[in-house]
Structure 1
Amino acid sequence: MLDHTDMSILDELSKNSRITMKELGEKVHLTGQAVSDRIAKLEDNGVIEGYTIKVNQVKLGYFIHALITIFTQSTYHHPYLSFIKKREQYVLRNYKISGDGCYLLECKFPSNEVLDEFLEDLNEHANYKLSIVINK
Protein backbone atom coordinates (compact mmCIF):
# COMPACT_ATOMS: atom_id res chain seq x y z
CA MET A 1 0.00 0.00 0.00
CA LEU A 2 1.38 3.39 -0.97
CA ASP A 3 1.21 6.27 1.46
CA HIS A 4 0.95 10.00 0.73
CA THR A 5 4.74 10.40 0.64
CA ASP A 6 5.15 7.58 -1.89
CA MET A 7 2.48 9.18 -4.08
CA SER A 8 4.26 12.55 -3.81
CA ILE A 9 7.55 10.92 -4.82
CA LEU A 10 5.89 9.31 -7.85
CA ASP A 11 4.27 12.62 -8.79
CA GLU A 12 7.59 14.48 -8.63
CA LEU A 13 9.44 11.75 -10.55
CA SER A 14 6.79 11.79 -13.28
CA LYS A 15 7.43 15.52 -13.72
CA ASN A 16 11.23 15.17 -13.72
CA SER A 17 12.87 11.76 -13.40
CA ARG A 18 16.32 13.41 -13.41
CA ILE A 19 15.74 15.27 -10.15
CA THR A 20 18.44 14.66 -7.54
CA MET A 21 17.57 12.72 -4.41
CA LYS A 22 18.39 15.79 -2.33
CA GLU A 23 16.00 18.00 -4.35
CA LEU A 24 13.30 15.34 -4.28
CA GLY A 25 13.75 14.92 -0.53
CA GLU A 26 13.25 18.65 -0.01
CA LYS A 27 10.01 18.53 -2.01
CA VAL A 28 8.57 15.62 -0.01
CA HIS A 29 10.11 16.57 3.36
CA LEU A 30 12.58 13.67 3.66
CA THR A 31 16.34 13.29 3.48
CA GLY A 32 17.89 12.33 0.17
CA GLN A 33 18.79 8.91 1.60
CA ALA A 34 15.24 8.28 2.84
CA VAL A 35 13.86 9.18 -0.61
CA SER A 36 16.41 6.91 -2.27
CA ASP A 37 15.36 4.03 0.02
CA ARG A 38 11.69 4.58 -0.79
CA ILE A 39 12.40 4.69 -4.53
CA ALA A 40 14.39 1.44 -4.28
CA LYS A 41 11.41 -0.16 -2.50
CA LEU A 42 9.02 1.16 -5.19
CA GLU A 43 11.29 -0.31 -7.87
CA ASP A 44 11.60 -3.66 -6.04
CA ASN A 45 7.80 -3.86 -5.70
CA GLY A 46 7.33 -3.15 -9.41
CA VAL A 47 5.54 0.17 -8.87
CA ILE A 48 8.33 1.95 -10.75
CA GLU A 49 9.03 -0.11 -13.86
CA GLY A 50 11.59 2.17 -15.44
CA TYR A 51 12.55 5.68 -16.41
CA THR A 52 12.13 7.29 -19.80
CA ILE A 53 12.57 10.49 -21.77
CA LYS A 54 10.08 12.53 -23.76
CA VAL A 55 11.23 13.03 -27.35
CA ASN A 56 10.04 15.87 -29.57
CA GLN A 57 9.12 13.97 -32.75
CA VAL A 58 8.78 17.16 -34.84
CA LYS A 59 12.42 18.08 -34.13
CA LEU A 60 13.35 14.61 -35.41
CA GLY A 61 11.46 15.25 -38.66
CA TYR A 62 8.22 13.43 -37.87
CA PHE A 63 5.57 16.08 -38.53
CA ILE A 64 2.49 13.83 -38.61
CA HIS A 65 1.16 12.24 -35.41
CA ALA A 66 -1.51 9.65 -36.23
CA LEU A 67 -3.81 7.42 -34.23
CA ILE A 68 -4.98 4.45 -36.25
CA THR A 69 -7.75 2.14 -35.06
CA ILE A 70 -7.13 -1.33 -36.50
CA PHE A 71 -9.86 -3.79 -37.49
CA THR A 72 -8.52 -7.27 -38.30
CA GLN A 73 -10.44 -9.66 -40.52
CA SER A 74 -9.97 -12.71 -38.30
CA THR A 75 -8.80 -13.68 -34.84
CA TYR A 76 -5.42 -14.62 -36.34
CA HIS A 77 -3.44 -11.39 -35.93
CA HIS A 78 0.04 -12.64 -36.81
CA PRO A 79 0.20 -11.06 -40.31
CA TYR A 80 -0.76 -7.66 -38.87
CA LEU A 81 1.72 -7.96 -35.99
CA SER A 82 4.50 -8.97 -38.39
CA PHE A 83 3.72 -5.96 -40.57
CA ILE A 84 3.91 -3.63 -37.54
CA LYS A 85 7.24 -5.12 -36.45
CA LYS A 86 8.69 -4.41 -39.92
CA ARG A 87 7.46 -0.78 -39.75
CA GLU A 88 8.51 -0.09 -36.15
CA GLN A 89 10.35 3.12 -37.13
CA TYR A 90 6.90 4.71 -37.50
CA VAL A 91 5.14 3.03 -34.57
CA LEU A 92 5.23 4.73 -31.18
CA ARG A 93 2.78 2.33 -29.50
CA ASN A 94 0.59 -0.57 -30.51
CA TYR A 95 -2.17 -1.16 -27.97
CA LYS A 96 -4.42 -4.23 -28.07
CA ILE A 97 -7.83 -2.80 -27.17
CA SER A 98 -11.41 -3.78 -26.55
CA GLY A 99 -14.39 -1.95 -27.95
CA ASP A 100 -14.17 -0.23 -31.33
CA GLY A 101 -11.35 -2.04 -33.09
CA CYS A 102 -8.72 -4.64 -32.23
CA TYR A 103 -5.65 -2.42 -31.87
CA LEU A 104 -4.88 1.26 -31.51
CA LEU A 105 -1.69 2.33 -33.24
CA GLU A 106 0.06 5.55 -32.32
CA CYS A 107 2.39 6.48 -35.15
CA LYS A 108 4.68 9.22 -36.41
CA PHE A 109 5.39 10.02 -40.03
CA PRO A 110 7.70 12.49 -41.77
CA SER A 111 5.20 13.25 -44.55
CA ASN A 112 1.75 12.53 -45.95
CA GLU A 113 3.37 10.47 -48.69
CA VAL A 114 5.00 8.12 -46.18
CA LEU A 115 1.74 7.92 -44.21
CA ASP A 116 -0.16 7.04 -47.40
CA GLU A 117 2.34 4.31 -48.31
CA PHE A 118 2.09 2.91 -44.76
CA LEU A 119 -1.71 2.84 -44.94
CA GLU A 120 -1.73 1.16 -48.35
CA ASP A 121 0.57 -1.58 -47.05
CA LEU A 122 -1.42 -1.85 -43.81
CA ASN A 123 -4.64 -2.36 -45.76
CA GLU A 124 -3.29 -5.69 -47.01
CA HIS A 125 -3.49 -6.98 -43.41
CA ALA A 126 -6.32 -5.04 -41.77
CA ASN A 127 -8.89 -2.31 -42.16
CA TYR A 128 -8.36 0.93 -40.27
CA LYS A 129 -9.77 4.25 -39.18
CA LEU A 130 -7.32 7.15 -39.24
CA SER A 131 -7.22 10.14 -36.89
CA ILE A 132 -4.57 12.86 -37.11
CA VAL A 133 -3.48 14.70 -33.98
CA ILE A 134 -3.89 18.45 -34.57
CA ASN A 135 -2.64 19.71 -31.21
CA LYS A 136 -1.60 18.19 -27.90
Structure 2
Amino acid sequence: MLDQTDMDILKELSKNSRLTMKALGEKVHLTGQAVANRVLKLEEDGVIEAYTISIDWRTQKTIQTFMQLYTRSLHHEPLLSFLHQKEEIKNLFKISGEGCYMAEGHFSSHDELDQFLTELTNYANYKLSIAVKRLIHQ
Protein backbone atom coordinates (compact mmCIF):
# COMPACT_ATOMS: atom_id res chain seq x y z
CA MET A 1 0.00 0.00 0.00
CA LEU A 2 1.36 3.40 -0.95
CA ASP A 3 1.46 6.14 1.65
CA GLN A 4 1.39 9.88 1.01
CA THR A 5 5.18 10.11 0.85
CA ASP A 6 5.29 7.40 -1.84
CA MET A 7 2.62 9.27 -3.78
CA ASP A 8 4.63 12.50 -3.45
CA ILE A 9 7.75 10.71 -4.72
CA LEU A 10 5.84 9.34 -7.73
CA LYS A 11 4.39 12.77 -8.47
CA GLU A 12 7.82 14.42 -8.42
CA LEU A 13 9.42 11.67 -10.53
CA SER A 14 6.60 11.90 -13.07
CA LYS A 15 7.41 15.61 -13.45
CA ASN A 16 11.17 15.03 -13.72
CA SER A 17 12.63 11.52 -13.54
CA ARG A 18 16.16 12.94 -13.72
CA LEU A 19 16.08 14.42 -10.23
CA THR A 20 18.95 13.40 -7.99
CA MET A 21 17.95 11.50 -4.87
CA LYS A 22 19.12 14.49 -2.82
CA ALA A 23 16.88 16.91 -4.77
CA LEU A 24 13.97 14.47 -4.66
CA GLY A 25 14.46 14.05 -0.92
CA GLU A 26 14.31 17.81 -0.42
CA LYS A 27 11.02 17.99 -2.32
CA VAL A 28 9.40 15.24 -0.21
CA HIS A 29 11.13 16.14 3.09
CA LEU A 30 13.39 13.07 3.36
CA THR A 31 17.12 12.52 3.24
CA GLY A 32 18.63 11.45 -0.06
CA GLN A 33 19.31 7.96 1.34
CA ALA A 34 15.78 7.57 2.73
CA VAL A 35 14.19 8.57 -0.57
CA ALA A 36 16.59 6.28 -2.49
CA ASN A 37 15.44 3.36 -0.33
CA ARG A 38 11.81 4.18 -1.01
CA VAL A 39 12.41 4.52 -4.76
CA LEU A 40 14.21 1.16 -4.79
CA LYS A 41 11.24 -0.45 -3.00
CA LEU A 42 8.81 1.13 -5.49
CA GLU A 43 10.92 -0.32 -8.32
CA GLU A 44 11.12 -3.78 -6.71
CA ASP A 45 7.36 -3.80 -6.09
CA GLY A 46 6.71 -2.96 -9.74
CA VAL A 47 5.11 0.39 -8.98
CA ILE A 48 7.84 2.17 -10.94
CA GLU A 49 8.16 0.26 -14.21
CA ALA A 50 10.48 2.54 -16.15
CA TYR A 51 12.00 5.98 -16.35
CA THR A 52 11.17 7.60 -19.64
CA ILE A 53 10.91 10.88 -21.47
CA SER A 54 7.96 12.82 -22.76
CA ILE A 55 8.30 14.18 -26.28
CA ASP A 56 6.34 17.17 -27.53
CA TRP A 57 5.43 15.67 -30.90
CA ARG A 58 4.51 19.11 -32.26
CA THR A 59 8.22 19.94 -32.37
CA GLN A 60 8.72 16.93 -34.63
CA LYS A 61 6.03 18.04 -37.10
CA THR A 62 4.08 14.84 -36.65
CA ILE A 63 0.40 14.04 -36.89
CA GLN A 64 -0.79 12.44 -33.65
CA THR A 65 -3.67 10.01 -34.16
CA PHE A 66 -5.93 7.83 -32.07
CA MET A 67 -7.48 4.83 -33.79
CA GLN A 68 -10.30 2.75 -32.43
CA LEU A 69 -9.82 -0.68 -33.99
CA TYR A 70 -12.51 -3.24 -34.74
CA THR A 71 -11.30 -6.71 -35.68
CA ARG A 72 -13.17 -8.73 -38.25
CA SER A 73 -12.29 -12.13 -36.84
CA LEU A 74 -11.77 -13.85 -33.52
CA HIS A 75 -8.06 -14.23 -34.32
CA HIS A 76 -6.40 -10.97 -33.32
CA GLU A 77 -2.77 -12.14 -33.67
CA PRO A 78 -2.30 -10.97 -37.28
CA LEU A 79 -3.49 -7.47 -36.32
CA LEU A 80 -1.36 -7.36 -33.17
CA SER A 81 1.70 -8.59 -35.07
CA PHE A 82 1.16 -5.91 -37.73
CA LEU A 83 0.85 -3.16 -35.12
CA HIS A 84 3.92 -4.31 -33.15
CA GLN A 85 6.00 -4.04 -36.33
CA LYS A 86 4.97 -0.44 -36.99
CA GLU A 87 7.23 2.14 -35.35
CA GLU A 88 4.52 4.77 -35.88
CA ILE A 89 2.37 3.06 -33.22
CA LYS A 90 3.40 4.49 -29.85
CA ASN A 91 0.74 2.98 -27.58
CA LEU A 92 -1.77 0.17 -27.93
CA PHE A 93 -4.53 -0.61 -25.47
CA LYS A 94 -7.07 -3.43 -25.31
CA ILE A 95 -10.35 -1.68 -24.51
CA SER A 96 -13.87 -2.50 -23.41
CA GLY A 97 -16.98 -0.96 -24.88
CA GLU A 98 -17.00 -0.01 -28.52
CA GLY A 99 -14.04 -1.46 -30.39
CA CYS A 100 -11.37 -3.99 -29.49
CA TYR A 101 -8.23 -1.84 -29.31
CA MET A 102 -7.17 1.80 -29.11
CA ALA A 103 -3.91 2.69 -30.87
CA GLU A 104 -1.97 5.93 -30.66
CA GLY A 105 0.13 6.68 -33.71
CA HIS A 106 2.48 9.43 -34.86
CA PHE A 107 2.91 10.03 -38.59
CA SER A 108 5.22 12.45 -40.37
CA SER A 109 2.79 13.23 -43.20
CA HIS A 110 -0.71 12.62 -44.43
CA ASP A 111 0.73 10.36 -47.13
CA GLU A 112 2.43 8.20 -44.49
CA LEU A 113 -0.83 8.05 -42.52
CA ASP A 114 -2.77 7.11 -45.66
CA GLN A 115 -0.31 4.30 -46.45
CA PHE A 116 -0.61 2.97 -42.90
CA LEU A 117 -4.41 3.04 -42.99
CA THR A 118 -4.41 1.25 -46.35
CA GLU A 119 -2.32 -1.55 -44.82
CA LEU A 120 -4.40 -1.56 -41.63
CA THR A 121 -7.60 -2.34 -43.54
CA ASN A 122 -6.17 -5.80 -44.26
CA TYR A 123 -6.52 -6.55 -40.55
CA ALA A 124 -9.22 -4.37 -39.02
CA ASN A 125 -11.75 -1.60 -39.46
CA TYR A 126 -11.05 1.65 -37.66
CA LYS A 127 -12.32 5.03 -36.53
CA LEU A 128 -9.63 7.69 -36.76
CA SER A 129 -9.25 10.83 -34.66
CA ILE A 130 -6.45 13.35 -35.04
CA ALA A 131 -5.21 15.27 -32.01
CA VAL A 132 -5.46 19.02 -32.47
CA LYS A 133 -4.04 20.21 -29.13
CA ARG A 134 -2.94 18.61 -25.85
CA LEU A 135 -4.87 20.18 -22.99
CA ILE A 136 -3.56 18.20 -20.00
CA HIS A 137 -0.19 16.51 -19.58
CA GLN A 138 0.72 14.82 -16.30
Report the TM-score when normalising by structure 2. Answer: 0.91
Which whole-Å CA distance do the structure 1 matches of 2:22 and 2:71 have between them? 50
Q: Which runs of 4+ in 1 moved over 3 A?
A: 58-61
Aligned to 1:72: 71
List runs of 5+ in structure 1 lacking aligned partners.
Answer: none
CA distance in 2, matches of 1:46, 1:121: 36
Superposed CA offset, 1:88-135 (max 9, x none): x11001111111100101000001111011111111111000000000
How many pairs are equivalent? 134
1:3-45 deviations in whole A, cap 9, x for unaligned?
1111111111111111111111111111111110111111111
Q: CA deviation at 1:50?
A: 1.4
Distance across 2 between alignment mates of 1:37 and 1:84: 38
Q: Which residue of 2 aligns with 1:134?
A: 132
What is the aligned-residue identity percentage? Answer: 53
Other-structure match for 1:8: 8
Answering whether residue 21 of structure 2 is matched by residue 21 of structure 1, we say yes
Superposition RMSD on alpha carbons, in Å?
Answer: 1.2
Query: 1:103 pairs with 73, 78, 101, which one?
Result: 101
What is the CA–CA distance in structure 2 between the aligned matches of 1:59 and 1:7, rounded to whole Å?
31
| SS of match in other structure, 1:104 | strand
Letter in 1 for 2:20: T
Counterpart Cα distance in 2 of 1:134 and 1:8: 31
Q: Which one-letter code corresponds to 2:81 in the other structure?
A: S
Return the offset for 1:82: 2.1
Partner of 1:84: 83
CA offset digits 1:55-79 (Å, max 9, x no partner):
2334344x20000000001110122
Map of 2:55 onto structure 1: 55
Of 111, 114, 122, the residue aligned with 1:113 is: 111
SS of the residue corresponding to residue 106 of structure 1 reads: strand
Amino acid at match of 2:32: G
DSSP 3-state at the match of 1:25:
helix
For 2:51 and 2:12, how far apart are their aligned partners in 1?
13
